[in-house]
Amino acid sequence: MAIQTEKDDVSGTATTGHSWDGIRELNTPLPRWWLYTFYGCVIWAIGYTILYPAWPLPGGATQGILGWSSRGQFAQQMQAAAAAQKDTVDRIAAMSLPDIMKDPKLLAYAQAGGAAAFKVNCVQCHGAGAAGGKGYPNLNDDDWLWGGSPEAIYTTLRHGIRYTDDPNTRDSQMPSFGIDGILTPEQIDQVANHVLALSGETADAGKAEAGKQIFAENCAACHGEDGKGNREFGAPNLTDRLWLYGGGIDNIKAQIVKPSMGVMPGWTKRLDDATIKELAIYVHSLGGGEAPVTQ
């Protein structure tokens, strides 16, 4: 057996002996620096795997002698960001809500910071666009159960609603008029028709008229004589077009028979005061915010 070395006539270079459709590959040597670049990469890789986390092992990977980790780097960057924002955050913590809102830079910062905190803490119930859903208030509109001034929103955020861990929480109970037998089904039908009529929607006029008296005796204490609600108790305004648990006679009746009452946690344990202020300002800026109490 013999190994034949072929040489290309034109270039004088040996071929690899491989041939594709009659085209033979020249065995041209690679440039030497190419090889050195490869060695350089190998050395770099060895150094890298010593310095940085690299080799997977059972139960983890080698840590690298620099002690670098992506979590550590993240924590560092967050610290740096917090340090850079410290002055602004301290001012927000020290100032009153109306004063913050008068300073365009602080207002912009609070809105952006509040939006970020909202995305982490609030969207689970209120939705990414704060539009809420059935049982979860829409924060964009101008209908507020417990008040829409920055201070009222701030208080709601701090203490929550029917939040058992905070004695100062916003609290109220609506009796279960149906299952506790306070009102008969007929009376419930009548008062529901009255509530429907309050907001100008089509209702059975006879029942609504009969329900007027029942409303005055059972409901007006919290919802007011005129049905416009009372923010002391978080009692909804029944005369507007917005229904937290759905409009229409059936939804209203269900709410009288066995009311659903929303719960919201207070945030003081989880968020610092500046963040809660930012959240209040952000929610207030969503379009339905009411004028600050102290101007």
Partner 1 sequence: MVQIINTLDAPPEVGRESAVPVNKAENRSLYASREAIHPRAAHGRFRRFKWAMVLILLGIYYVAPWLRWTRPGDAPDQAILIDMANRRFYFFFIEIWPQEFYYVAGLLIMAGVGLFLVTSLFGRAWCGYACPQTVWTDLFIWVESKIEGDRNARIRLDAAPWSASKLSKRAIKMLIWLLIAIATGGFWVFYFADAPTLFHELITGQAPSVAYFTIAILTATTFTFAGFMREQVCTYMCPWPRIQGAMLDEESLIVTYNAWRGEPRHSGLKKAEAQGLKAGDCVDCNACVAVCPMGIDIRDGNQLECINCALCIDACDAVMDKIGKPRGLINYTTAGLYAANVAGKNRHWNWRHLIRPRTIIYFTAWAGVGLAMLFTLIHRTQLDVNVVPDRNPLFVTLSDGAIRNGYTVKILNKRQEARTFRLSVHDLPGATMEMVGGAGARGTSFDIPVDADRLKAVKIYVWTSDPAVIAKEHSTFAFKIEELKPKGDAPPESRTYDAIFHGPEREE
Q: Which of 89, 100, 111, 234 binds partner 1 (CB under 8 A)?
A: 111
- Restricting to residues 140-169, name those near partner 1 by CB under 8 A: 140-143
Coil/strand/helix, residue 138: coil
Among the listed ranges 61-69, 159-167, 233-241, 248-256, the one in contact with partner 1 (CB under 8 A) is 233-241
Nearer to partner 1, 102 or 270 (CB): 102
The closest of 277, 274, 270 to 85, measured between CA atoms, is 274
Nearer to partner 1, 20 or 33 (CB): 33
Among the listed ranges 79-87, 137-145, 208-216, 268-276, the one in contact with partner 1 (CB under 8 A) is 137-145
Question: Residue 274 is encoded by which pair of tokens?
Answer: 């500046």
Nearer to partner 1, 43 or 242 (CB): 242
Q: At what angle do helices 150-159 and 273-284 cross, to 10 degrees?
A: 130
User: How far, CA to CA in Å, does 157 sit from each of 101, 189, 284?
Assistant: 18, 36, 12
User: How far, CA to CA in Å, does 109 sit from each of 104, 277, 287, 295?
Assistant: 9, 11, 17, 21
CB of residue 136 to partner 1, shortest distance in Å: 13
DSSP for 230-270 reads: BTTTTBPPSSSS--TT--SHHHHHHHHHS-----B---TTT
What residue has token string 């830079």?
Answer: 105
Nearer to partner 1, 41 or 128 (CB): 128
Among the listed ranges 2-10, 163-171, 251-259, 262-270, the one in contact with partner 1 (CB under 8 A) is 2-10
* Total residues binding partner 1 (CB under 8 A): 43
Q: Which amino acid is at 53?
A: P
Nearer to partner 1, 207 or 223 (CB): 223
Distance in angstroms (rounded) separating the CA atoms of residues 74 and 44: 25
Distance in angstroms (rounded) separating the CA atoms of residues 160 and 21: 80
Q: Which of 99, 204, 209, 240 binds partner 1 (CB under 8 A)?
A: 240
Q: What are phi and psi of 25, to 5 degrees?
A: -90, 130
Site pattern 261..290 for partner 1 (x: CB under 8 A): ------------------------x-xx--
- Restricting to residues 6-65, name those near partner 1 by CB under 8 A: 6-10, 14-15, 24, 29-35
Nearer to partner 1, 28 or 62 (CB): 28
Distance in angstroms (rounded) separating the CA atoms of residues 183 and 152: 34
CB of residue 101 to partner 1, shortest distance in Å: 7
Contacts to partner 1 by CB under 8 A: 1-10, 14-15, 24, 29-35, 101, 104, 107-108, 111, 127-131, 138, 140-143, 237, 240-242, 285, 287-288, 291
